[in-house]
Amino acid sequence: MVGRGEILERMTLVPAPDGAGSLEALWQGGAAGGAAGDAVGGPRAAPVLLCPPHPRLGGSMDSAVLAELVWVLGRRRHPTLRFNHRGAGASQGTLALPPWPWPGPVALGPLIDDARAALAQLAATTGARTVGAVGVSVGALVAATLAATVADEDDDDDGGAVLIDRLLLVSPPAGVLGGDALAALGAALGRAGVAVAVVVGDADRAVDAAALRRSWPDVFVHVVEGADHLFQRGLSALGRRAAATFGAADDDTTDESVKLM
């Protein structure tokens, strides 16, 4: 039983994209236990996929940023699924990734495959054909590339793909893709009609906010004062931006009455 002010996440498994084993994941169904301001018993909101930071940087679904966003989204009745990539945490398998950092977008392929598997599970569990997505650090580029990819596939399949219609990209390291590829990705998201919000910290040395603005001129880049790459400070401000991105801009995300279980 979920008590007042609690959000219950349950461990689940996502079939690994290579057919060898499973990815560990955490799922909650968007049924927050009555925190102040929540519409208890009301309809659930759109599900949201959460993509973790890069596993070679110690990234996992246990990221403080992802935990905060589950808290924010769950109390607003968004089902969420966060996962670990192959070889991270208890996820089985391995990723053939070169040492960080690396040039070019090709190395994102295995990470995108994992995110696609998690997206399929989230859609199958909720019955949704359209979901939102969040990505942190390199996970932001994974989420954005996945959104553009499934939109292209939807055009090819005449409307059969699960779509990502809204993105929150936290600390996306633009240099991983390079200017031309980043601009092409932004253009693809624009053609697909994906709503994009970007949040970076002004103390983040891994993100070039100016490069993001040049490559994505139609996307507003929100800068959080005092925040670093993984938001050891500024989580409340990030939570407010998440609430606004996924449709609850008037909510107070600073309420401390909700906790993860």
Strands 163-170 and 195-201: parallel
* Residue 129, pLDDT above cutoff 60: yes
Q: Where are the domains of the chain?
A: 10-91+105-247
Q: What is the pLDDT of residue 35?
A: 41
Could you tell me the two tokens for 252? 């107070």
Q: How does residue 91 score in pLDDT terms, banded at 50, 70 and 90?
A: confident
* Residue 31, pLDDT above cutoff 80: no
Q: What is the pLDDT of residue 164?
A: 96
Question: In this predicted model, which residue has the larger pLDDT, 32 or 15?
Answer: 15
| Mean pLDDT, the chain, integer | 82
- 194 and 27 in contact (C-beta within 8 Å)? no
Strands 163-170 and 130-136: parallel
Q: What are phi and psi of 175, to 5 degrees?
A: -65, -20
Q: What is the pLDDT of residue 96?
A: 65
The percentage of residues in the chain with a pLDDT greater than 90, rounded to a whole number, is: 50
**Segment 192-250, tens digit of pLDDT:** 999 999 999 999 988 888 888 988 988 989 999 999 998 999 999 999 999 999 975 43
Q: Could you tell me how far CA 228 lies from the centroid of its own chain?
A: 18
Q: What is the pLDDT of residue 157?
A: 58
Which is the CATH superfamily of the domain at 10-91+105-247?
A: Alpha/Beta hydrolase fold, catalytic domain (3.40.50.1820)
Q: Give the pTM.
A: 0.86
Question: In this predicted model, which residue has the larger pLDDT, 259 or 207?
Answer: 207
Q: How does residue 259 score in pLDDT terms, banded at 50, 70 and 90?
A: very low
The sign one gets for the Cα dihedral 19, 98, 205, 222 is negative
